[in-house]
A and B are shown apart, each in its own frame.
Chain A
Amino acid sequence: MLDIIKKLDSGTIRGLIVATIPLLVLIGSLFGVDEAVFKASLEGWGEKLVALVSLAGVAWAAYARVFKPTPPLTEQAAQATQAMLQKQASPPAGKQGGFVRAGMLALILALSVALPAIVGLQGCSVLGAPQLQGWNERLAGGYSSVTAVRQTASVLLEGKVRAARAIADPGAQEKAIAAAKADAQNLQDQADKAREGLDVARTLRDVNFGDADARLASTLRVLEALQAYLAKETP
């Protein structure tokens, strides 16, 4: 059974408590405490200090939650965690539970290109990214998206191999690693195809701009089609 820690020993809880401090000012205003009183007392720098403390708290909470061990805080959480670990240690027979299958490959590709495709190819005022106008900008956006696919594949491969190596059964571990390797190679191959389309478009540009533009547009459409697949398949 996993050890349960005190709640205030949790970095996540501590960080979140600190992060709520500035909220107390807003809550106080709801009960008649004039915000100007707070501002007058701290004369501006106090607001900045509070905001920085809040930011530090949130950052610490995120860091602690991601990189530090997260022992359960309740009996129920401990039992659920224990059950999850036991389930992960012995995946169902005949399945490489949690790893990618053909349909999910496309989903992952969509995930890996969706953000750069949205931000890079279409522009996103929310994130402050500029709209791509020139031909070279669209081309660079395509290259950027392809790179993002490869980087995504690299991160996912690392995570899946790490998870596979935690499997006790050597046979199951080997199968899981082989599946992860195959999935990553598939993503690499799809990225290579998209890259080839971009390279051809770039080569054609000085020879026949019309054909080059069509080739670029079709390659970018492939990437955007994956976004549509993502929107359709994501529950």
Chain B
Amino acid sequence: MKIDVNTGLQLLTALLTQANQLAVAVKTARAQGREDLTDEEVDSFVGSDDAARAKLQAQIDAL
């Protein structure tokens, strides 16, 4: 599949942003001496996915 450079960069940005959010959360936990994330921290990722789902569905439904 062909994608233009702008789309490719947006894609890369989206993927790296997600990876970075997870990395930051885990590093914060380690810095605080924890070996795992709290349920509240997991909830933030759930919330992000809910928002992403809503945004994509709105985009699809608008077509």
Contacts and interface: CB of A to CB of B under 8 A. Distances in A.
B59 A130 contact: no
Interface residues of A, number: 56
B41 to A, nearest CB: 7
Interface string B40-52: 0110011011001
Given A130-B23, A157-B60, A136 B6 contact: no
For chain B, the bracket of interface size reads 35 or more
Given A98-B2, A128-B23, A140 B14 contact: no
Interface in A99-151: 99-100, 104, 107-108, 111-112, 115-116, 119-120, 127-130, 132-137, 139-141, 143-148, 150-151
Given A66-B9, A156-B3, A150 B63 contact: no
Chain A binding surface SS class: helix
A99 B55 CA distance: 22
Contact of A154 (B6, B15, B22, B56): B56
A147 B57 contact: no
B2 A120 contact: no
A144 B21 contact: yes
A86 to B, nearest CB: 16
B52 A151 contact: yes
Given A143-B49, A191-B53, A157 B26 contact: no
Contacts of A112: 11, 15
Interface of B: 1-7, 9-11, 14-16, 18-19, 21-23, 25-27, 29-30, 35-39, 41-42, 45-46, 48-49, 52-53, 55-57, 59-60, 63
8 contacts: A99-B1, A120-B19, A127-B19, A128-B23, A139-B42, A143-B48, A144-B45, A180-B63
